Chain A
Amino acid sequence: MAKKTGAEALGRFYTGGKVRSRREWRGFKDTMYDYSRWLVIMGTLGKFIIKPRNIKAMFRYRWMANYLAVPMMVDRHTQGLRGEYLRMCHVEQDLIIDDVAKLLDNLFRGDRRIGNDKEFSKKVVLVDENEMTAVMMGFPTLKTLSRETPSTYVPVLLNQHAVEYYLDKIEEFGLAPDVCPMPAAEAGVSVDDDAPILGACAIQCNTTCDGSLLSNGVISKRLEEDGIPVFQIGAPLRHREDDVQEYAAQEIRNAIAFIEEHTGAKWDWKEYFECARRVNVATRSRMEWLDMNRTEYPQVFGSNLALYTETNYMAICGRIPAFEKADRKLCKLAEQAYAKKNMMAREYRHRAIVWGVQSHYYFDFLLWILNCWGIVPLTDMLSMVSTKIIAEEDTPENREQAYYDMAWLTENMIMRNRTHGGYKVLLDELWEFVDQFNADMVILWEHTSCKALDGMHGMFEDRAREKGVHLVWVEHDLFDPRIVSRQGVRDQINSYMRTVFNEEPLDPSLEILDDANSW
C-alpha cells in the first residue's frame, strides 16, 4: 500500500474538473489521521455556516463561494505527506482555517449589510491584508479585522480563479492590466461594492509595492464615503537605514493616537509586551527551523514554512495565543523528525532557495517541485523575514524601544522587507543564503507585474553566472492564472530539469497535470 512516502502516483487524482477523483491513501495510520483532521475541518465549517448571518453573507458576497473549496486547499498542501510532515501541515492549516472562520464571523457580525452589530463595529479596526498588525498589539479590547484577507488573499489559495472577476471589474474602470493583480483585485472588491462595511476606523500602510500603496487610495476613498476614517502609515522604504527609524517610530505613535481617538480604547503596555514575547517565540521557532534546513535533513520547509510564516508573522503578530502553542507543537514535531532523519520525499536531488514573490494561485508549487523532481525548497523569500528579538520586558526604556520595534516589524513585513530596502536585501542576501543553506539552485519566481523584482532581473542572472549556481526563472502573475497557467509554471521547471539537468521526474504522473479548471 501507499504508506511509504512517494508510493502513490499523485498525478492520477486530477480529472480535468474542479476537484480530484479521490483523496490519497497514506497507509492506515496517516490516512486515519488525515481523515480525523478532515472531520475537524468540517466541524469548523459547519459551526461557521450554521449561523444565519453567515448564510446571509454567503448569498451576498461573491468571494464567499470560494470557501466551498476549503478542504481541497488542505488536500493540496498535504499531497504526498506522511508522518510528522502531515501533522505539521495540519497543525498549521487547521489553525489558519479556524482563524479565518473567526475573522469572517466577526466581519459579518459588524457588517452593516449583514449582522449590523453597531456596538461591535465600534470596536473594530480595519487593517490591510498585507499589513503587519504590530500596531494593534497593545489593543486587547479591539478587534483587528482585515477585509482583504478573506475577500482576495485566502480565496486565491482556495480557488486559483477566485479573483479574476474582480480584476476584470477594476480594469473596466480603467486600471492598466499590467499592475500587480493582488492590490488590483483588492481595489476591484472595493469598487464592486463587495467589501463588508464596518469599523470605527481603518489603518492602511504602504506595504509591499507601489501598486499596493496606490490601491489603498482606491479603498480609502470608499471607506471615507462610508464614514470610516483612515490613517495611512507611511513606513520607510529604505528600512535598513538608520536615518529613517525615528520617522518610522513616529508613524507608529501617530497611528496609535489615531486608533485611540477613534475607538476610545487605551494602549495597554502589559498586553503589548505579552504579544512581543509571543512574537519572539515565533521568531525563535522559525530560526530553529531554518537552522535545521541548513542541514542534510530539513524539516519545516515548502508550504509548511511559507504559508504558516505569512500568517503567523504578519497577520497574527503575537496577538493570538493559539499560535504560540502551534509554534511549540511544530518545533516538537520537527525535532522528532530530525532525530529520525526523516525525509519529506523519497529522494532529495537538489537543494533550492526559492526567491521572489511566489505564485499565489499555485502556492502548493513548493510541494510539487519536491514530489515531482525531488527539489527541496529549503526556504523561500517570503519566509526570510525579521529575526530580530524585540523588547519583551515592560520597562520605561523598553516602552520607548517598543515604538521602534513595532516600526521595525512594520517596515519588515513579508515581501516588503525584500522588495523595498535597496538591492542588498533582495539581491545580495540571496547569495548569502545560497551559501548558508548549501543550495545548488535558485528558483526565482518572476512575478511579471512585480516591478521591484523585475527591475533586478539582469543582476540576478549576472550574479548566478558569477557564482555558478543554477538559476531557474519561473514566470507567473501572482493572482491571475490566465496570464501563466499552473501548467505554464510547471513547464518552466520541467524543461529546465530535462534539458539542463537531464533528469527524469521522481513522480512522472505530476509532470503534466490537467488542472487548468481546478479550484
Chain B
Amino acid sequence: MNKVTKALLIGTGAAAGFFGVTFTVYFFNLDMKLTALMEPIFLNHYDKIKKDSHL
C-alpha cells in the first residue's frame, strides 16, 4: 500500500468516523440532550451570584 493510498484511507476513515459520530449526535439529538442536562447546573450557579439588584 503506497503512501497516497494510505493517506487516502486514513483521510476517508477519519472523515467517515467524523461523519459517523457527528451524524449520530445530530440525528439522535444528542447535542441537545447534553445541553439540557447542563442547564440546571448553570441555573444553580446563577442563583449564587451576588448582584446589585435595584430599580
Taking Cβ atoms with an 8 Å cutoff, the residues of A that contact B are 17-23, 25, 35, 38-39, 42, 58-62, 64-65, 68-69, 71-72, 75, 169, 173, 191-194, 218, 221, 519
Contact = CB atoms under 8 A, between A and B. Distances in A.
A519 B32 CA distance: 10
Given A35-B23, A169-B53, A221-B55, A42 B31 contact: yes
A71 B27 CA distance: 12
10 contacts: A19-B29, A22-B29, A35-B27, A59-B45, A62-B46, A65-B42, A68-B39, A192-B53, A218-B55, A519-B36
A191 B36 CA distance: 28
A65 B43 contact: yes
Interface in B1-38: 22-23, 26-29, 31-33, 35-36, 38
Interface of B: 22-23, 26-29, 31-33, 35-36, 38-39, 42-43, 45-46, 49, 51-55
Contact of A193 (B26, B31, B39, B52): B52
| 10 cross-chain pairs, A with B, having the tightest CB-CB distances, nearest first | A68-B35, A193-B51, A19-B32, A62-B46, A18-B36, A65-B42, A193-B52, A19-B36, A22-B28, A35-B26
Given A39-B22, A194-B51, 12 more contacts: A21-B29, A23-B26, A23-B27, A42-B31, A64-B42, A68-B39, A68-B42, A69-B35, A72-B32, A191-B53, A192-B53, A519-B36
Contacts of B26: 23, 35, 38-39
A28 B40 CA distance: 36
A20 B32 contact: yes
B55 to A, nearest CB: 5
Contact of B43 (A39, A62, A519): A62
Given A193-B53, A221-B55, A18 B39 contact: yes
A234 B26 CA distance: 47
Contact of B32 (A39, A64, A69, A192): A69
A18 B23 CA distance: 21
Given A19-B36, A218-B55, A71 B43 contact: no
Nearest to B18: A39
A42 B18 CA distance: 14
Contacts of B45: 59
Contact of A191 (B22, B27, B42, B54): B54
The A interface, classified by DSSP as helix, strand, loop or mixed, is helix
Contacts of A221: 55
A270 B32 CA distance: 45
A192 B39 contact: no
B31 A191 contact: no
Given A19-B33, A20-B29, A221-B55, A60 B39 contact: no
A395 B5 CA distance: 64
B18 to A, nearest CB: 10
Contacts of B49: 60
Contacts of A193: 51-54
Contacts of A71: 31-32
Contacts of A20: 29, 32
A68 B27 contact: no
Contacts of B38: 68
A173 B55 contact: yes
Contacts of B22: 35, 39
A463 B50 CA distance: 54
A2 to B, nearest CB: 13
A377 to B, nearest CB: 26
Contacts of A64: 42
Contacts of B32: 18-20, 69, 71-72
Given A23-B27, A193-B53, A17 B42 contact: no
A120 to B, nearest CB: 24
Contacts of A60: 49
B24 to A, nearest CB: 10
B10 to A, nearest CB: 21
A58 B36 CA distance: 15
B22 to A, nearest CB: 7
A65 B55 CA distance: 24
Contacts of B53: 169, 191-193
A59 B43 CA distance: 10
Contacts of A192: 51, 53
Contacts of B52: 193
A58 B43 CA distance: 11
A352 B49 CA distance: 47
Given A191-B53, A191-B54, A218-B55, A65 B29 contact: no
Nearest to B35: A68
Nearest to A32: B23
B40 to A, nearest CB: 9
A75 B27 CA distance: 11
Contacts of B51: 192-194
B29 to A, nearest CB: 5
Contacts of A35: 22-23, 26-27
Contacts of B23: 35
